């Protein structure tokens, strides 16, 4: 079953921009082999947030550190819901298990580090992370201001 982890609070959730899909999506993906949904969610989260391919034993360790969480299902996709404090705990355990990430000069320890200090490779599945507000219906993202800033020549 495809699955992922949703890190959120009452107003925002962590999502990532996937250039191949031209979408901002949740963190997660498809199972490999006979992985359980929770194993898939944790493996995919390590891969997408940190650019690391964890071993099954490392994934099982991370799962064991979070014995309680809420779940939600959207069609065939299962989400494990954790808060931003849990994200920092997750990052601490990852730092202890993996030492370094190809997406960061120093291993991220906070939500701010994770978003603002990321330098993902061109071939990363998720290249940019963002906090996105909860909305209750589909909205359009206006990008003209982004284009103006991105392509400005720095003059007033």
Q: What is the pLDDT of residues 120-139, one digit of tens each?
A: 777 889 999 999 998 877 66
- List, for residues 7-49, the tens digit of each pLDDT value: 999 999 999 998 888 888 899 999 999 999 999 999 999 999 9
Is residue 52 within 8 Å of 95, Cβ to Cβ?
no
Give the highest mean pLDDT range of 56-65, 124-133, 141-150: 56-65
Question: What is the pTM (predicted TM-score) of this model?
Answer: 0.88
Question: Could you give the domains of the chain?
Answer: 3-150 (3.90.79)
Distances in Å between the alpha carbon of 43 and those of 34, 104, 129, 141, 145? Answer: 13, 18, 17, 30, 35
- List, for residues 65-120, the tens digit of each pLDDT value: 998 789 999 999 999 999 999 999 999 999 999 989 999 999 999 999 999 999 97
Is residue 80 within 8 Å of 5, Cβ to Cβ?
yes
């Amino acid at each position: 079953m495809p699955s992922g982890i949703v890190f959120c609070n009452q107003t925002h959730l962590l999502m990532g921009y996937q250039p191949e899909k031209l979408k901002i999506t949740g963190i997660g993906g498809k199972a490999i082999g006979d992985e359980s949904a929770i194993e898939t969610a944790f493996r995919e989260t390590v891969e997408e947030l940190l650019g690391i391919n964890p071993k099954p034993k490392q994934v099982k360790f991370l799962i064991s550190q979070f014995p309680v969480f809420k779940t939600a299902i959207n069609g065939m996709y299962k989400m494990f819901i954790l808060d931003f404090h849990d994200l920092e705990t997750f990052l601490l355990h990852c730092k202890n298990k993996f030492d370094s990430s190809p997406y960061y000069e120093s291993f991220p320890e906070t939500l701010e580090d994770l978003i603002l200090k990321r330098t993902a490779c061109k071939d990363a599945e998720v290249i940019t992370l963002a906090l996105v507000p909860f909305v209750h219906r589909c909205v359009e993202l206006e990008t003209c201001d982004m284009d103006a800033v991105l392509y400005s020549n720095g003059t007033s």
